[in-house]
Amino acid sequence: MDLDPDLPTGDEKAEKVQGMFDRIAPKYDFVNRIMTFRLDVRWRKKTVEALQLDEGSVVIDLACGTGDFCCELEKANMIPLGFDFSMGMLEAGRSSSPLSQSDVLNLPIKESSVDGATCGFALRNLTELEPFFDEVCRVLRPGGKFGFLDVAEPENKFLNWGHHIYFDRIVPRVGALLSDKSAYSYLPKSVSYLPPYETIIQMIQEAGFRNINRKSFAPGSAQLFTGEKI
Ligand SMILES: C[S@@+](CC[C@H](N)C(=O)[O-])C[C@H]1O[C@@H](n2cnc3c(N)ncnc32)[C@H](O)[C@@H]1O
């Protein structure tokens, strides 16, 4: 998929993304549940199950936003730590986990020090993917697991058509009504930042992971990458 020329890149993108999430933070969870028909909750739960980590494992949630993944990890009796660069999102959070305002491309964590990492709906918001995968690999212990959840486009032509109508026409209108017009026009477009899944798998592999798996969640609007550090 070609990148929309109107979409920002590099430092400009990071600045815009941070400002946008600061702005939409107070209503983020509410709007998210409506837009995904609460499927996002189920997808996060499946991601935590897919990690197959023991209770008591220390798991970092990268680009944690309001901490939905932290809550899910707490329910599974793991020990989550959340990292996000938007103070607005961190302040709107509801989890009781420790949170840090940090850039996930440069984590304040020692190497090989955590058991797992999750990242929800943020790959497309990062300025670069390879440095992110390298950073996750640096901080995970050998054998440590990751689960990266993000949006996807259904492969079935009919579902893809419906998906585009929903995300390109309905999401921006509902978002404008409930929250912020420019943010909810940007978010559907930001899907075009994501390379094809085969490229993502190759990047993850080159960063130093093995047993990489990609699972698509019905109706093909979300995808989960899992694997472990070599
Ligand atoms: C769509 S939200 C996802 C929030 C949460 N993970 C979830 O599952 O709902 C994307 C998040 O990525 C964060 N983000 C984007 N780039 C980041 C970076 N370089 N460092 C830290 N956080 C970042 C934004 O601040 C925002 O909270």
In tens digits, what is the pLDDT along the chain, a chain of 230 residues?
Answer: 567 777 999 999 999 999 999 999 999 999 989 988 899 999 999 999 999 999 999 999 999 999 999 999 999 999 999 999 999 999 999 889 999 999 999 999 999 999 999 999 999 999 999 999 999 999 999 999 999 999 999 989 999 998 889 888 998 898 899 899 999 888 888 989 999 999 999 999 999 999 999 999 978 999 999 999 99
Structure-block tokens of residue 164: 């585009």
- The pLDDT score that the predictor gives to residue 198 is 97
Cα–Cα–Cα angle for 84, 79, 85, nearest 5°? 5
Q: Which protein residue's CA is at the shortest distance from atom 10 of ligand 1?
A: 122
pTM: 0.95
Span from the CA of 68 to the centroid of ligand 1 (angstroms): 11
> Candidates 89, 102, 123: which one to mutate for ligand 1, based on the most atoms within 8 Å of Cβ?
89
Residues 6+ apart with CB under 8 A from 108: 100, 102
Residues 163, 12: Cα–Cα separation, whole Å: 28
Structural element, H or E, at residue 80? strand 79-84
- The pLDDT score that the predictor gives to residue 146 is 98
> Candidates 71, 85, 186: which one to mutate for ligand 1, based on the most atoms within 8 Å of Cβ?
85
Q: Which protein residue's CA is at the shortest distance from atom 14 of ligand 1?
A: 63
Residues 151, 149: Cα–Cα separation, whole Å: 7
Half-sphere exposure of residue 7, counting CA atoms within 13 Å on the CB side? Answer: 19
Residues 6+ apart with CB under 8 A from 26: 88, 92
- The pLDDT score that the predictor gives to residue 163 is 87
Question: Are 35 and 175 in contact, with CB atoms under 8 Å apart?
Answer: yes
Residue type present at position 1: M
Strand partners, 210: 228
Span from the CA of 86 to the centroid of ligand 1 (angstroms): 7
Strand partners, 146: 117, 227
- The pLDDT score that the predictor gives to residue 27 is 94
- The pLDDT score that the predictor gives to residue 2 is 63
Residues with CB under 6 A from ligand 1: 17-18, 21, 63-65, 68-69, 84-86, 89, 103-105, 120-122, 125-126
- The pLDDT score that the predictor gives to residue 8 is 94
Q: Is the peptide bond before 131 cis (omega within 30 degrees of 0)?
A: no
Question: Are 174 and 184 in contact, with CB atoms under 8 Å apart?
Answer: yes
Kindly tell me the sign of the dihedral angle through the C-alpha atoms of 25, 20, 85, 213: positive
Span from the CA of 5 to the centroid of ligand 1 (angstroms): 22
